[in-house]
Amino acid sequence: MTSLLHLDSSADRSGGSVSRQLTALFADTWRAAHGTAAGYRHRDLAADPVPPLDTAYCALGRRVEKHGLVPPDGVDALIANPAERRAWTLTRPLVDELLAADTVLIGAPMYNYSVPAALKAWIDRVGFPGAFSDPVTGESLLRGTRVVVISSRGGAYGPGTPREAWDFQTPYLRAYFRAHGVAEDAVRVVGAEMTMAHLVPDLARFKPLADGSLDAARAEVEALAGAATAAAR
């Protein structure tokens, strides 16, 4: 069954978040095509934060690495104490959700030139040693996964802008998923820039740029959601 894992990480849950508006548009388009019976999972990383890593997670992870490629089903046998059991209990469902998804939709607003801490906590925890490697072939279990990142930024960080080099958000996300075996052309980034132009007086002159960027992002989101639907048929 076709499945979509929808992650939101914006701290703003009031309705004003651009990244949440765009991920909702993608999810609504996708669900309209697949129906309520499709495999849709929404995880709000701001409302239900993933706990940061601790000593038990690190100790269990190092033990797993010593045993080579251990699949998730084999981790239980390596757990040494209740703290490690709790760490794995928190981690395994997140790993399973990611492995089960054909498409991963990530709402990632730029916070201080990078990703929100809520998203980083999820990234750290699902990156458990060996979780995405086939224990027999060593190939990535994410090689057929599609990742759509919805990026929103208060300023402009695109190619040719003065702050292009300050973007530690989208290059990081691309590198992370590529390192875990997602194909380069399967990681798509949709960006809405200058989202603060209608709020900050000093940025008012950029309102047309902000409106154009948001309109383009909406169109691209709908196209990508439609492409995901067509590919699943």
* Number of structural domains found in the chain: 1
- Domain containing 207 equals 3-55+92-232
CATH of the domain at 216: 3.40.50.360
96 found inside a domain:
yes
155 found inside a domain:
yes
**122-145: pLDDT as tens digits:** 999 999 999 999 988 989 999 999
pLDDT at 68: 86
209 found inside a domain:
yes
86 found inside a domain:
no
pLDDT averaged over the chain?
93
67 found inside a domain:
no
**Average pLDDT, stretch 196-225?**
95
**Average pLDDT, stretch 2-21?**
95
Reported pTM = 0.93
pLDDT at 93: 97
60 found inside a domain:
no
Q: Please say if the pLDDT value at position 69 is more than 90.
A: no
DSSP the chain: --EEEEEE--S--SS--HHHHHHHHHHHHHHHHH-TTSEEEEEETTTSPPPPP-HHHHHHHHHHHHTSS--HHHHGGG--SHHHHHHHHHHHHHHHHHHH-SEEEEEEE-BTTB--HHHHHHHHHH--TTTTB-TTT--BTTTT-EEEEEEE-SS--STTSTTGGG--SHHHHHHHHHHTT--GGGEEEEEE--TTTTT-GGGGGGHHHHHHHHHHHHHHHHHHHHHHHHHH-
Q: Please say if the pLDDT value at position 233 is more than 60.
A: no
Q: Please say if the pLDDT value at position 84 is more than 70.
A: yes
